[in-house]
A and B are shown apart, each in its own frame.
Chain A
């Protein structure tokens, strides 16, 4: 009897010991390495990663990838908490908009040496690699690009016959397509994410090529930008729904989905939402209209990719996974599913991309030597909080008529100028 009890106790202990083994790390029994991957936009993208992980694990039977989908709205906060608690994933989805924040906390491992020896070396779009390197002070590659995006205006083809080339034509169409009581020419993003969109619109209108002038002063409150914002804010409630003032991405897409709005500014990423709501044939897209003299200016979208975290105990396996994700087949699959621009140049030439009009236009626009690209200061660790928490409510005040466009842009410019000066001082630049 005693023996039996002892045996049972031993068995329990053994189970507990193996069960409590580290959840991330080598599983001694099977010899498998487990790495954790955080998707920075978990949700609709989850099945894409599940498929890619399945393929990766089939090709690398000794590595197991644990997928964690983080909602895009809380991803920065999750990373900050994880860094503070020393519990970061092995690989994480990261975009240049908060890359500086993560490298500022010394959380990431540079990928330059790995990439130099890798089969994907030379296959990743130079513009995206440059964009990543420009984001951090030491110019290293802390993020391996997977995809990029471009701002476009989506429109319903049965309402708008010809895509406008200039902003004047755009404002004209927005007015013409507004029909009382509830049909509108345009919808403004007034809630979360508003500032980036208004920046993209202003610079494409003014054609200004730099965010800061030679003396380090922000160009955001340039008279041409003020002129644009005054026109755009004038559309609110005249050619747009009243609810626009609190429009974040889901609300804006839902409104456009009702079919009562003719045009909506977002980026390539929402293509699938529009197709679901309206069908492929009804949806069209054009790049933001041209500025003075027909010149096209584009504000560079954040580059989205993968980073290996410094705390990872399995950096080699983590890199292997990153390398797999940006290889031709995986990168092509990922971007085909999301409708965005692949970072892998081989994938850019794939037939599915050539068949999608809006994506083909985007790649051509981006690669056109006449297109002028303005890079927002993603390298400023404060950029994200300035363009979100600090100024999004102020933009709502502009729409509601509680603040003038001039006051708003002066405030935004001052914050950016101060942050730039402080950053230069802190980094000895």
Chain B
């Protein structure tokens, strides 16, 4: 009896966690997976029923917009995460130096991160709208940057950078402060200049922080809805349509929950696959 009790204790202890995971992860994912195999469209209730792989066939072979949005999502994630990493690292290096007013500089660097997503887009909409925006002062009173297919991408990239760079700066600064000063001293004694110290001391020590930040940010940018939805709604003419925005359009606006679920599953599988691959390739957390 006592052995049985003793055996049950660990299971009992992890049961709350298991229950929470089941309720908040397994059930929602399972329900999306279930609906992805169903025809479920509120505007065509007569056609509801089991769909098999029909939604996936439609997605892969008939829906140009799926591929278009996927292509844009890839471009968006790569450009955003790449630029955020470079600029975030640069900012972290600057505010890691000792200078007068460093505290103020640090708070300023991090402040955009504290602004809520919808507020951020509100600010950028005002900046980009012809009648209220900044371009009036550059002699372009009527330029509609968000309405022009040539300028809309740089415009949304800049807006998201403003919000995303501080995230990298915070994480990388924390990493920088964990690097022992002696290493730099030793490198200097060995005759390493600034560049060499950066490459051989700073970067290797920041590896885990960089991997973690890019991975998290990559997933977030992939799933970014608030900024693009409020700023452009995926437009003009679907120019800035990411996969999650397309899901929102299909499932929420067109009420096609079956097909929307299939699109969501596609996004889920892609993210899962990319994350595993990335962690493997970067040997995250492993011994050097």
Contact = CB atoms under 8 A, between A and B. Distances in A.
A244 B131 contact: no
A400 B237 contact: yes
The bracket for how many chain B residues form the interface is: 20 to 34
A23 interface: no
Please classify the interface of chain B as helix (H, G, I), strand (E, B), loop, or mixed, using the class held by over half of its residues: loop
Contacts of A101: 42-43, 255
B48 to A, nearest CB: 11
Interface residues of A, number: 35
A105 B144 contact: no
B141 A182 contact: yes
A254 B254 contact: no
Nearest to A260: B131
A245 B236 contact: yes
A273 B254 CA distance: 30
Given A382-B44, A422-B44, A244 B237 contact: no
B185 interface: no
A402 B237 contact: yes
A105 B236 contact: no
B147 A80 contact: no
B275 interface: no
Interface in A251-276: 251, 254-255, 258
A104 interface: yes
A193 to B, nearest CB: 12
B32 to A, nearest CB: 15
Contacts of A243: 129-130, 142, 144, 146-147
A381 B147 contact: no
Interface stretch (A88-96, A337-345, A388-396): A388-396
B148 interface: yes
B237 A181 contact: no
A400 B249 contact: no
Interface in B42-80: 42-47
Residue with the greatest number of chain A CB neighbours at <10 A, chosen from B130, B147, B252 = B147
B253 interface: yes
A101 B42 CA distance: 8
Contacts of B148: 242
B228 to A, nearest CB: 13
Nearest to B133: A243
B130 A80 contact: no
Nearest to A385: B254
Interface in A342-362: none
B236 A400 contact: yes
A385 B146 contact: no
Contacts of B44: 381-382, 422, 426
Contacts of B93: none
B235 A241 contact: no
Interface in B137-167: 141-144, 146-149
Contact of A426 (B46, B129, B250): B46
Contacts of A291: none
A400 B236 CA distance: 9
Interface in A389-421: 389-390, 393-394, 396-397, 400, 402
Contact of A389 (B42, B131, B147, B249): B249
Nearest to B148: A242
A80 B42 contact: yes
Given A77-B252, A385-B255, A246 B235 contact: yes
8 contacts: A242-B143, A242-B147, A243-B144, A246-B146, A246-B233, A254-B131, A381-B42, A381-B43
Interface of A: 77, 80, 101, 104-105, 181-182, 190-192, 241-246, 251, 254-255, 258, 381-382, 384-385, 388-390, 393-394, 396-397, 400, 402, 422, 426
Interface of B: 42-47, 129-131, 141-144, 146-149, 232-238, 249-250, 252-256
* Shortest 8 CB-CB contacts between residues of A and residues of B: A243-B144, A389-B253, A396-B237, A385-B254, A426-B46, A381-B43, A245-B147, A397-B237
